[in-house]
């Protein structure tokens, strides 16, 4: 059967790439990924490379299927974990049951965020605005905050960045004092964690790589003592 590997490559640092991800890449004839993802495997790649941009995903998946059909081992690299706002969805949408899709899980930016903040995330509401910012989804977020849920979310860097999320929540009746945290460039040398509230986040700009937490932060004191370098006060 035609087979494609979709491999999670972690949030950025090579320290968060799993040994099995490296093994599969080493054996692959064709490796598809963003420049950033490919650069994490320079020592492992022996096959051909196809560099991916957000515009070329569909075309690249078609090429992956064609290559797998003629017997090539194909690896598609996906930031973090492929199953959370990653490349698994477009791969599944573009393939049928005749293609065996095997996921090699990766460490998600969501997991790193929770780990940095000492958060248990088994009762957390997760949102991703990365691949769609509908009014319904935004209002689901408002509802979750009103219900005092702990929330971890991926903003959309262009149309729904942290400051717009803060603005939307405040405009929809959420207190501007609500705790909000933004974790930027996780695992990378310029990692930064900003702890504040919605009012504070309203005035800050962040780069495209960030995860946001709203409300319910149980171990804030321990966290602050570890990270006070990057601390922006409440």
Ligand X SMILES: C[S@@+](CC[C@H](N)C(=O)[O-])C[C@H]1O[C@@H](n2cnc3c(N)ncnc32)[C@H](O)[C@@H]1O
Report the distance separating Cα 210 and Cα 230, nearest Å: 15
Closer by beta carbon to ligand X, 2 or else 127: 127
CB of 207 to ligand X, least distance (A): 9
Residue 70, C-beta contacts closer than 8 angstroms, at least 6 positions apart: none
185 binds ligand X (CB under 6 A): yes
Q: How many residues does the chain have?
A: 234
CB of 123 to ligand X, least distance (A): 19
Contact with ligand X (CB under 6 A) among 84, 127, 160, 206:
84
Q: Is 66 helix (H, G, I), strand (E, B) or coil?
A: helix
DSSP label of 78: E
Q: Is 4 helix (H, G, I), strand (E, B) or coil?
A: strand
Place of tokens 């605005």: 129
CB of 192 to ligand X, least distance (A): 10
Helices (H), 70-213: 88-94, 109-116, 135-146, 162-171, 198-201
**Number of residues binding to ligand X, judged by CB under 6 A:** 25
30-38, 74-82, 93-101, 219-227 -> range binding ligand X (CB under 6 A): 74-82
Q: Which two tokens stand for residue 101?
A: 């899709």
Closer by beta carbon to ligand X, 11 or else 47: 11
81 binds ligand X (CB under 6 A): yes
Helices (H), the chain: 19-27, 35-39, 57-69, 88-94, 109-116, 135-146, 162-171, 198-201, 220-227
41-60 mask for ligand X (x: CB under 6 A)? --------------------
80 binds ligand X (CB under 6 A): yes
77 binds ligand X (CB under 6 A): no
108 binds ligand X (CB under 6 A): yes
Please name every residue paired with 78 in a beta bridge, in sequence order, or none if there are none: 8
State the residues that interact with ligand X by CB under 6 A: 11-12, 78-81, 84-86, 108-110, 130, 154-155, 157, 183, 185-188, 208-211
């Amino acid at each position: 059967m035609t087979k494609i590997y979709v491999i999670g490559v972690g949030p950025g640092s090579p320290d968060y790439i799993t040994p099995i991800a490296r093994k599969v890449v080493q054996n692959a004839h064709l490796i598809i990924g963003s420049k950033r993802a490919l650069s994490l495997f320079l020592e492992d790649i022996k096959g051909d490379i196809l560099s991916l941009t957000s515009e070329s995903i569909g075309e690249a998946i078609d090429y992956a299927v064609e290559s797998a059909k003629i017997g090539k081992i194909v690896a598609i690299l996906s930031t973090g974990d492929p199953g959370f706002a990653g490349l698994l969805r477009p791969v599944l949408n573009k393939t049928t049951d005749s293609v065996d899709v095997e996921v090699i899980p990766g460490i998600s930016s969501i997991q790193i965020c929770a780990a940095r903040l000492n958060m248990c995330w088994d009762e957390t509401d997760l949102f991703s605005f990365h691949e769609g910012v509908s009014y319904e989804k935004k209002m689901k977020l408002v509802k979750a905050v009103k219900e005092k849920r702990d929330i971890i979310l991926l903003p959309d860097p262009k149309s729904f960045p942290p400051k717009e999320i803060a603005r939307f929540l405040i405009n929809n009746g959420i207190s501007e004092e609500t705790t909000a945290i933004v974790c930027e460039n996780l695992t990378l040398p310029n990692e930064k964690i900003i702890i504040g509230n919605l009012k504070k986040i309203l005035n800050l700009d962040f780069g495209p790589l960030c995860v946001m937490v709203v409300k319910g932060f149980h171990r804030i004191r321990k966290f602050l003592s570890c990270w006070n370098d990057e601390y922006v006060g409440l």
